[in-house]
Amino acid sequence: MKYNEKLQSRIDEVAEVAGYLWEKGWAERNGGNISYNITDVVDDNIRALTPVSEKFPIGKPVPALSGNYFLVTGTGKRMRYVHSSPMDNASIIRISGDGSYYEIMAEKPIRPTSELPSHLMIHNHMAEQGRDIKSVIHTHPIELVAMTHNPAMLEKDVLGKILWSMIPETRAFCPKGLGIIPYTCPGTVELAEATVRELDEYDIVMWEKHGAVGIGTDLIEPFDMIDTFTKSAKIYMSAMAMGFTPAGMTDAQMDEMKEKFNL
Ligand code: 13P
Ligand code: ZN
């Protein structure tokens, strides 16, 4: 199918980021998923399409997404193939007027990710808040997930502060820190609800022993934040591997950053 330039560039962005996720080793098999709100770039060609699927009920309705269109990676689909052939591994869905079901509109009847409850509830919540959030990304970054296996790091803001203190960039480019969600079964509405709550306070949250979730006005922004936190996690682990606990930047040094960069 031929898409208009703006929609094609969203598809290209998903393909680009999917490639990074695979290259980084964060996307084993079908690990991770992406959704991108494309409502502002769909044209009459897309609006005229007849659905290629039945109507699928949405567990918890999302009325603020009435009539919205999303590009969503498919369940069981591999990021390395989302990269090489996005529309064979993702589909465009449309939310019904009352927000209670969705239909697949293009191109193939590829069922969206099993984490759709989290994706849609996050988009719904952000729309209700009037925040311009278009993308949600979930991925399995090795070092960050490893750190969530340490109970001491699951206390509020402990892991986030350690990561901030590893290198000034993390404090500057991930200014809201890192939220933590205690282990909850993947794909559930409970996990989605906890994630929505935590994203009021943080831009990136960790699902304990599972992975990261990020949101942004585009897809590059949350990818970069997860990448930056991962850089900090690697610095922490490199120091530990050399036999010492890293000192970290001091609170005063971090406060200085906060003031200087208006964070
Ligand atoms: P999907 O293949 O259904 O997107 O699941 C991958 C995943 O990471 C679940 O948390
Ligand atoms: Zn996952």
What are 192-236's pLDDT values in tens digits?
Answer: 999 999 999 998 999 999 999 999 999 999 999 999 999 999 999
Whole-number CA gyration radius for the chain: 19
Quote the pLDDT of residue 203.
Answer: 87
CA distance 29 to 75: 11
- Angle, nearest 10°, between helix axes 5-23 and 220-241? 10
Ligand 1: atom nearest CA of 186 is: 10
Q: How far apart are CA 22 and CA 25, in angstroms?
A: 5
Which atom belonging to ligand 1 lies closest to the Cα atom of 210?
A: 10
Contacts of 263 (CB under 8 A, 6+ apart): 171, 172, 175, 257
Structure confidence at residue 6 (pLDDT): 98
Q: Tell whether ligand 1 has an atom less than 6 A from the beta carbon of residue 32.
A: yes
Give the catalytic positions in this structure. 115
Distances, alpha carbon 50 to alpha carbons 43, 57, 67, 93, in Å: 14, 18, 14, 11
Please give the DSSP secondary-structure letter assigned to residue 60: S
Neighbours of 49 (CB within 10 A): 17
Question: What does the pLDDT look like over 36-63, one tens digit per residue?
Answer: 999 999 999 999 999 999 999 999 999 9
Per-chain mean pLDDT for the chain: 97
Nearest atom, ligand 1, residue 33 CA = 4
Nearest to 67 by CA among 96, 45, 38: 96
CA of 138 to the centre of ligand 1 (A): 8
Q: Where are the alpha helices (DSSP H) in 106-215?
A: 116-129, 142-147, 158-164, 168-173, 189-198
Whole-angstrom CA distances from 160 to 13, 105, 167, 171, 252 are: 28, 40, 12, 9, 16
Establish whether residue 31 lines the binding site of ligand 1, counting it when its CB lies within 6 angstroms of any ligand atom.
yes
97 close to ligand 1 (CB < 6 Angstrom): no
| Domains in the chain with CATH codes | 1-114 (3.40.225.10), 141-263 (3.40.225.10)
188 lines ligand 1 (CB under 6 A): no
Calculate how far, in angstroms, residue 34's C-alpha sits from the geometric centre of ligand 1. 10
pLDDT at 200: 96
Distance from C-alpha of 131 to C-alpha of 129, rounded to nearest angstrom: 5
Neighbours of 189 (CB within 10 A): 14
